[in-house]
Amino acid sequence: MASEDTPLVLSPAEVAHEAVYRRFSTSRKRVIVALVSSSAILPMFASGSFIPSIPQIALDLNSTGPIISFAVSLSIGGAALGSMIFATYSGHYGRRPMYLYGLPLLCIGSIGVAFAKTVSELMVFRFIQAFGTSGGLAVGGGVIGDIYKLTERGTAMGIFFAASLLGNAISPIVGAARYSSWRNVQLGLFFAGLFVYLGMLALLPETSHPGTMGADKIDAERALDGERQPKRKFNWVWLNPFSCLWLLRSPNLFLVTIAGATVLYTDYALLVPIAYTIGERYNIKNEAIIGALFFPMGVGNIIGAPLAGMLSDRIVIKWRKRRGGVWVPEDRLRATLFGAATFVPISVVFCGLVTHYVEGRIGLTLNLIGFFFNGLGVDLVLSPSSAYLVDVMHSRSAEIMAAGVGLRSLFLSIAISGILPSISYFGVVITNTVVGLLAWGGFILLWLTIKYGDAMRAYIDVGYSTAQTT
């Protein structure tokens, strides 16, 4: 029987496959991760810097908080659509072009938001801004899958998520602006997007595995057909960006995505109404202080993501050795269970109870502790889950990431729009309790996927990776 100390014996096919991950040196991989992580910071930064300023934006544009908060839902929809488009085309033209075409849209949207004079203008340019940032997570996850092998991928994905979630930690402090200065924050996003674009232009190589892009396959088919005309530099192909959603007919992929959505919803349930819950309960009117309240959750995110990634890699290696070298993809999801069962649901219910029943500094302090554990728990779930999606759909890694973002965003865009009305009508305790129960339901979905993963994959095959192709 294999023990944890027994070295894995790889087949010749697996050895040959792992060679593709040695195309880039360790230092070059770090540069690539830094670049794609900086791009993934931008959507978090754009969202996080906007939320604390909602009351002031509403005042500036003669609107109301609930109406302006709809821009958050709209931007999530824009990010979902954009992620599917960029991910789909990244499989055909490569990862690098998606960044070079997407980031300019972020810059245009940021300028538009900064100079918006009406709510309609704000909504349109927030959509464009979110669309431009949307490639950061989906295509970035694909890049990580391109350059890191199975037993290193969880750690790399955790670092990627930790770096990207830095935006959650610092953006609200930057975005917490008095009156009209929220516009200056949007101008800052323009310059940040421009800076990242220039970095991508100068330093990001194409990371797709050789011969796997759709454009490569078309050129190969032409060569086989005996075409003698020189290869054209660019041939536009119409692709269906929604085709990636068809991957979610897989029970495994669908359940893990829904579980991630219920977990991430707890973040938004705490943060979107913060000015109207913690702000009003503890008489905090200064937007800078309200923005600073996001910081404990951001710290939890930054700690949780790499911790979960490293833990999931160790679990994959441990269980693979126990089975004598047999790889079961769902083993990685074992790293999600503790956070999904405890930190995530308990923290959101805890914050609701504290906000309602505990006054003064003690209540505020307890809320911040709850924020930290929520951020920690969310990433103990999302980081291994994202690595799992890349593991099982490696040849379409960006597409499955985008499909997950798309379905998750559809859920969130609808659910987020109901947070403030629910708190106004039912109160923070009932609202947060319902959100916590949804999150605990996500834990059950993850447990079912681990227990019945083999059977569910056999039920519907969407082209899953094998040990030789992941």
Number of helices and strands in the chain (H, E)? 21, 0
- Separation CA 265–CA 273 (nearest Å): 13
What secondary structure, in 3-state letters, does 398-440 show? Answer: HHHHHHHHHHHHHHHHHHHCCHHHHHHHHCHHHHHHHHHHHHH
Q: Which helix (H) or strand (E) holds 299?
A: helix 295-322
Per-residue pLDDT at 183: 83
DSSP secondary structure letters along 355-383: HHH--HHHHHHHHHHHHHHHHHHHHHHHH
pLDDT of residue 285: 78
Please, what are the domains in the chain?
25-207+243-459 (1.20.1250.20)
* Residue-level pLDDT at 1: 37
Residues 6+ apart with CB under 8 A from 455: none
Question: Which stretches within 19-149 are classed as H helix?
Answer: 26-50, 54-60, 65-93, 95-114, 119-133, 135-147
In tens, the pLDDT along 221-269 reads 666 655 555 555 557 788 888 888 899 999 999 999 999 999 999 988 9
Predicted local distance difference test score (pLDDT) of residue 35: 92
Tokens of 244: 């990636």
Most distant pair of Cα atoms in the chain: their distance: 78
Low-confidence ranges of the chain (pLDDT < 50): 1-6, 177-180
**Is the Cα dihedral 60, 65, 68, 69 positive or negative?**
positive
DSSP 232-250: PS-------GGGGGGGGGS
- AA letter at 152: E
The C-alpha atoms of residue 379 and residue 339 are separated, in whole angstroms, by 8
| Among 457, 208, 463, CA closest to 329 | 457
Amino acid identity for residue 366 in this structure: L
Instruction: Provide the token pair at 193.
Output: 């997007």
pLDDT computed for residue 236 by the predictor:
75
CA separation for the pair 249, 247 (Å, rounded) = 5
pTM for the whole structure: 0.82
Count Cβ neighbours within 10 Å for each residue of 226-237 and write b for 16 or more, e otherwise. eeeeeeeeeeee
Nearest Cα to Cα of residue 165 among 435, 380, 344:
380
d(CA 231, CA 234): 9
Cα–Cα dist 231/457, whole Å: 39
Distance, CA of 135 to CA of 349 (rounded, Å) = 33
Q: Would you tell me how many other CB atoms lie within 10 Å of the CB of residue 218? A: 14
The span from the CA of 430 to the CA of 195, in Å, is 44
